[in-house]
Structure 1
Amino acid sequence: MEQEKLTHIELKYLKYVSLKFDFINFHKFEEVMKKFFYHVQMLRLTTGYNEKCLNAKRWQQLIMSYMPYLRIFDINHQDYIGKKNFTYHHIINQFNSSFWMEKKLVFYTST
């Protein structure tokens, strides 16, 4: 069965988005954001168990290119750290770059 292609729809009044996923295919979600989240000013996302959501550079590119009005980026990532503690903290620290500080965008984690 062929998957339907998403067409771009301008959603001028979509300003606030709050979503919670137990698991997310970040690549597919990224395509949705590119098509529909252009005017979004606040994005609250709760997710877990998928480290692809923790790619700060990918988020930065997505925000700069497709979400120019974003003012609040509140992502809460929940995962079991266990033995990957150093790697996890290294990933989280990528959200402390000048881009994130200048934009005052927020990233939270829970364990």
Structure 2
Amino acid sequence: MSFNLTDITLTFHNVTFNEIEEFLSKTSHYLQRLRFTIRENSTFLRATRWNQLIINHMPNLYMFDFMYLVSQDDSLSEYINADHLLNSFKSSFWTKQQ
């Protein structure tokens, strides 16, 4: 099956990064804009995994809009961990990628 998607918006609650990676690796070669929302799954905050997925499967991507949602019930340690992981998105790949 061949996909020529150029724009996609995805919102998930209970999905693994591996499942998203498999889906996007098969459908995203022509993708130009990716909007992605995930709730309370810090594995999606691993910038290096996104880097590799984008480099290997999304050569035409120019917009990556990522929203990570947390609930008020989450513990303080989860917030601290998420904040630390979000800092990994401040590398030159994310700030200088055109």
Higher RCO (Cα < 8 Å, 6 or more apart): 2
Distance 2:8 2:82 in 1: 26
Superposed CA RMSD in Å reads: 1.4
CA distance in 2, matches of 1:49, 1:86: 13
Structure 2 residue aligned with 1:11: 3
User: How much has 1:86 moved relative to structure 2?
Assistant: 2.6
Please give the per-residue CA displacement for 1:79-105, whole angstroms capped at 9, x wherever unaligned. Answer: 14532233221100000000000126x
Pairing of 1:31-50 with structure 2 (within 5 A): 31-50=22-41
**Aligned-pair CA distance for 1:10:** 3.2
Kept in 1, the 8 Å contact 2:45–2:82? The answer is no
In structure 2, what is the Cα distance between the partners aligned to 1:58 and 1:25?
A: 12
Richer in helix (by share): 2
Q: Aligned with 2:15: secondary structure?
A: coil
Match 1:83 to one of 58, 76, 79: 76
In the alignment, structure 2 segments of 5+ residues that lack a partner are none
- What percentage of aligned pairs have identical amino acids? 33
Segments of structure 1 that go 5 or more residues without pairing to the other structure are 1-8, 105-111
| Higher Cα Rg, which structure | 1
**Paired residues, number:** 95
Give the Cα separation in 2 of the matches to 1:87 and 1:21. 20
The CA deviation at 1:23 is 2.2
Question: What do residues 25-70 of structure 1 show as CA deviations (whole Å, max 9, x unaligned)?
Answer: 2111110100111110000011111111111000001101110111
Write out aligned runs for 1:28-107 (5 A): 28-80=19-71, 81-84=74-77, 85-103=79-97
